[in-house]
Amino acid sequence: MRNKIAQARYERKETRDAYLFLLPLLALVIVFVLFPVLATSLNSLFRDVTYLARKFVGLSNYASLAADFDFQRAARFTCLFTAAAVFFEAVLGLVFALLLNESFRGRGLLRTVVLIPWAIPTIVSAKIWKLIFDYTYGVLNFIVLALGLSSEKINWLGSSISAFWSLVAAEVWKTTPFMVLILLAGLQAIPREVYQQAQIDGARMGRRLWRITLPLVWPVLTIALIFRTIDSLRIFDLVYVLTGGGPGGSTKTLSMLGFEYYSNDSFGRGSAVSVITFLLVFAVTIAYIKLGRFERSLKK
């Protein structure tokens, strides 16, 4: 008996030390992420509004959301916005990464410059873009008039379609640098000899891009897409400042909807929206991992 205890202590010494080293990290994550998430999930099953008694209502928060036009619109907008933004980021990011992977004079400077949008706080960039799209003072309207593309100023943030694309533009500007950096790392990991061999084998530029570069950079692209999609699905700050969800609530995201419910002291419904948001995020992540077929590389 005594022996068993001694043996267990012998085995556990390193384990105990390791857990001691991990304790602050785990405590932080569990108390301030896992616990609130669980509480939110639980809360989504309650009628929780400040002016009424808290009451268990099962899934009825979800049921009423499903039937709610505002919610449907926010869900659709969030998904479409994410798809558009991530697509253009990937294309533009790939173009710039390919460019910065070439050697030419001034490349170092460009690599620095490309980081600037990343370094600017999202709220600031939202304000900048708001001014760019501004009806009265905006530089975009100035350009449109100067080039004669339109005879009068356009209210960019005034229609739901142009507001959508304005948001996409601002998001793409802010987050393309991240894409560029990740893809550049992927490109630089491709050995030079592969290109030289392909050149000797007579593959011209376009073919080298299609047959060599893209397939080899694909795993890295998948990872970058996951990160960007997760981030984009939970977008709040950019939209909150740039359009405020307007016009007429047409650019409200799921996070904004949740925030609105919270602000109106409707915590049960807000929680339900939050739960749906993270379920969406997890579903999309799993889909990427399955499609990207890189379970193996993740496990390593």
Q: Does 99 bind another protein (CB under 8 A)?
A: yes
Shorter beta-carbon distance to another protein: residue 164 or 278: 278
Which residue among 67, 136, 151, 215 contacts another protein (CB under 8 A)? 136
What minimum distance in Å lies between the beta carbon of 48 and another protein? 9
Q: Does 102 bind another protein (CB under 8 A)?
A: yes
Kindly report the number of other CB atoms within 10 A of residue 271's CB atom.
24
Which residue among 1, 119, 147, 161 contacts another protein (CB under 8 A)? 119
- Total chain residues near another protein (CB under 8 A): 103
Which residues does 238 contact at the CB level (< 8 Å), separation at least 6? 122, 125, 126, 167, 170, 171, 174
Which residue among 1, 3, 151, 296 contacts another protein (CB under 8 A)? 3
Q: Does 191 bind another protein (CB under 8 A)?
A: no
CB 74 within 8 A of CB 64: no
Does an H or E element contain 80, and which? Answer: helix 69-101
State the Cα–Cα distance between residues 157 and 144, nearest whole angstrom: 15
SS3 state of residue 219: helix
Which residue among 56, 210, 282, 287 contacts another protein (CB under 8 A)? 282
Q: Does 166 bind another protein (CB under 8 A)?
A: no
What are the φ and ψ backbone dihedral angles of 46, each rounded to 5 degrees? -115, 155
Q: Does 211 bind another protein (CB under 8 A)?
A: no
State the Cα–Cα distance between residues 118 and 26, nearest whole angstrom: 29
Which residue among 59, 66, 91, 123 contacts another protein (CB under 8 A)? 123
Residues within window 37-96 making contact with another protein, judged by CB under 8 A? 37, 39-40, 43, 92, 95-96
State the Cα–Cα distance between residues 79 and 85, nearest whole angstrom: 10
Q: Does 18 bind another protein (CB under 8 A)?
A: yes
